[in-house]
Amino acid sequence: MLVVALEEEATHLHVSDLPVLVTGVGKVNAAIAVALTLADASPSAVVNLGTAGALRDDVAGTHVVCTVVQHDLDDDALFGLTGMRFGEPVRLTDAGLTLATGDVFVSDPATRERLARTADLVDMEGYAVALAARAAGVPVTLVKQVSDRAGDSAARTWKQNVDECAERLGDWVRAELLG
């Protein structure tokens, strides 16, 4: 099953034999959509395709994510209060980039700099998709296409690049899943 946040990210998939789930933006929408779909269907795997902001200038292109973290949940503070972890990193592969997921469109240099200390990319759904699939016992892969630099011009750049990013994601699906 292919999972995207927005229809714009699915426009160049052109796959008839793989189901495509459009979740909506953000962790809550993604978690609900994936969990409900996995409760009703039994896909052999989940592949989350989407755009992401680059947190470093040397990051561009299409990437399979190695580790995904939540950047807007203070897991250490919650652990101090409760003795339990609620947002530990999810390791997906042995090599690759780290993705930070949060319910904020990162578009300012200060946030970008802070997140770049621990991650390479930023998005708004990856962690939720990974956690929902893992909870259901379904293998999950996150594939992100850099759409912007998560800085002052991120919103404008994302709008300008989303179609090309969707085309690159479609190319990845054809090469890696259908090839």
CATH number at residue 101: 3.40.50.1580
166 is a domain residue? no
List, for residues 130-150, the tens digit of each pLDDT value.
Answer: 999 999 999 999 999 999 888
108 is a domain residue? yes
133 is a domain residue? yes
- Verdict on whether the full-model pTM lies above 0.85: yes
67 is a domain residue? yes
> What is the rounded distance in angstroms from the CA atom of residue 46 to the CA atom of residue 33?
12
Q: Which residue blocks in 58-153 are alpha helix, DSSP H?
A: 75-82, 109-116, 126-135
Per the structure, how many domains does the chain have?
A: 1
168 is a domain residue? no
Q: What residue numbers bound the domain in which 73 lies?
A: 2-161
174 is a domain residue? no
> What is the rounded distance in angstroms from the CA atom of residue 179 to the CA atom of residue 158?
28
List, for residues 44-67, the tens digit of each pLDDT value.
Answer: 999 999 999 999 999 999 999 999
